[in-house]
């Protein structure tokens, strides 16, 4: 993977500034931001299809539906780790209220449940890029939950997949420093975050192409 070219991908488009402005502004509006999420998926499909530039902003109704489905996929994946966290914390809270006491065992349950939840969320975050790539390719929400294919594809490109994840988190870490800039930093980071999202979408789309089920 050429990391420099991967990071520069959005800027290859002659209208990249305009396209990023549109996406960044849409991301600020609740519900409407589903359109921007759909554009991420369209960018991922472009990476799978070998496109060298950003997709056009068109067919916004379809982008909205695709973005909504992305939210549903992510929500379903997150259900188990969130359930573990809420059950451990909620169960202890109810027990403590009933007994009017917080025991060391209760605290241990909260800590243990929280740690398990964090581990599960980490696993989910590792699976999601490939799951969404499969969804982008197959255009079927059910395909995003084919755990066997997801694991098989990740295993076939494990080195490149890990590099892609590290690149994504490195970019997110670097971009976070923009907030240090007084006043204007909070504005710039909106556009920088959307840019990073486009890099990730294209990057994981290409990793999917290199994988095999």
- Domain range for 56 is 10-210
Residue 174 included in any domain: yes
Structural domain count of the chain = 1
- Beta-carbon count within 10 A of 49 CB: 12
* pLDDT score for 100: 54
- Is 2 within the bounds of a domain? no
Please write the tens of the pLDDT for every residue from 81-138. 888 777 777 655 555 555 555 556 666 666 777 788 888 889 999 999 999 999 999 9
Cα separation, 59 vs 61, whole angstroms: 6
- Dihedral sign, CA of 105, 110, 112, 113? positive
Half-sphere exposure at residue 26, Cβ-oriented, CA atoms within 13 angstroms: 22
Q: Please tell me which residue, 109 or 66, carries the higher pLDDT value.
A: 66
User: For tokens 């989910």, what's the residue?
Assistant: 124
CB proximity list for 102: less than 8 A, separation 6 or greater: 92, 96
What's the rounded Cα separation, in Å, for the pair 8 and 44?
15
Residue among 146, 138, 166, 157 nearest 207 (CA): 157
Tens digit of pLDDT for each residue in 164-202? 999 999 999 999 999 888 889 989 999 999 999 999 999
Residue at 104 is within a domain:
yes
What's residue 102's pLDDT?
Answer: 54
Query: pTM above 0.85?
Result: yes
Give domain status of residue 81, yes or no.
yes
Q: How much is the average pLDDT of 25-43?
A: 96
């Amino acid at each position: 993977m050429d990391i420099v070219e991967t990071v520069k991908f959005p800027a290859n488009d002659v209208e990249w500034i305009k396209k990023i402005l549109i996406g960044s502004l849409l991301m600020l509006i609740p519900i409407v931001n589903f359109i921007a999420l759909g554009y991420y998926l369209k960018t991922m499909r472009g990476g799978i299809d070998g496109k060298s530039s950003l997709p056009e902003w068109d067919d916004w109704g379809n982008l909205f539906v695709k973005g909504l489905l992305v939210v549903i996929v992510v929500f379903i994946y997150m259900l188990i780790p969130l359930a573990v966290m809420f059950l451990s914390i909620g169960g202890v809270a109810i027990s403590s209220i009933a007994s009017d006491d917080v025991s060391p065992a209760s605290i241990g349950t909260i800590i243990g449940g929280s740690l398990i939840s964090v581990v599960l969320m980490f696993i989910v975050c590792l699976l999601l890029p490939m799951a969404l790539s499969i969804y982008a390719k197959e255009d079927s929400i059910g395909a995003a939950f084919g755990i066997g294919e997801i694991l098989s594809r990740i295993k076939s490109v494990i080195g490149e997949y890990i590099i892609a994840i590290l690149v994504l988190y490195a970019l997110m870490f670097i971009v976070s420093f923009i907030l240090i800039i007084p006043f204007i930093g909070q504005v710039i980071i909106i556009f920088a975050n959307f840019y990073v999202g486009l890099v990730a979408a294209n990057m994981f789309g290409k990793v999917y192409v290199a994988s095999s089920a």
